[in-house]
Structure 1
Amino acid sequence: MRKGIVSLLLATAACLLAANAQAIGKTGFTAYGTYWNGDDSGYGYGVKATKSLLDILFADARIGYLNFNDSDTEVIPLEASINVGLPGVITPYAGVGAGYYFIDGPMGNNAAGYFGQIGVEISIAMFGVLAEVRYHDLAENAFDGPSASLGILLKF
């Protein structure tokens, strides 16, 4: 009888920890590197903050920096998105978002835009990695196109 109670308590504790890990797992910060391919290709980096809203729904806000070498243009994207993802150690997700893009250079002026994205996060405990592909559509057409990002995560 004692072994049964101890086993039940351990199983309950494991379930509570797993549920807590899933709830915690969608809130955190990510640092990433990115490649953006529009009329010119650019490389950069950024940070994003992610907040869990529901079990499978989360939002993120991000700021980045991109340098388009061939055209001597710099872009600072300020973006927010809403995403749906499957919970677990491997979390595939898809989402949509909008942003404002501060553009410095001959390729255009500051512009608003929107994007669609798909990605995957792989995490163990509080740490993980992210891979993401996005398609941007900006008012400045020179920046329309896909981007890809790789990053590291800290979740809490």
Structure 2
Amino acid sequence: MSSPSKDLKETESALRSVIQSLIDGQEGFKKIGEQIKDEALKEYFLAESLTRAQFRGVLESILHQEGVHDIKESGTAVGTVRRAWNDFKSALGAGDSSLLSTAEEGEDEAVEAYARATETYLPLPVRQVLTTQAAHIDKSHEFIKAARDTKK
């Protein structure tokens, strides 16, 4: 069995990776929510941005409880590029379908971030939190994919 400090480092690394993905999602959903024309989807994306912020807060609280106090995360470089590309497409008049495709790509990344995190050692309560959040992310991914398919 590994030492507690190694386990804590693995848990911290896994959570930081997910937090970065949540930051990307939070910012991406907000931007798309502001740009998408369909009012129901606009409401969904803005609400989902808040959900990602809540998920992030829960994970940061877990890190704080474990004694990790320096949690100054930013999103990933891939997320930043995706948002810039989305802004560029919007400036050129991209429609809701294009925005939904961008959102789906972001959700692919979020699903992968959670999958990678749960492949590492995690204390049971942390694993349960991630599993619950991952289930929500999966449902969101399915919703966005279905919305994109109907906009084609």
Q: Same fold (TM over 0.5)?
A: no
Higher helix share: 2
Higher strand share: 1
Normalised TM-score (structure 1): 0.28
Normalised TM-score (structure 2): 0.28
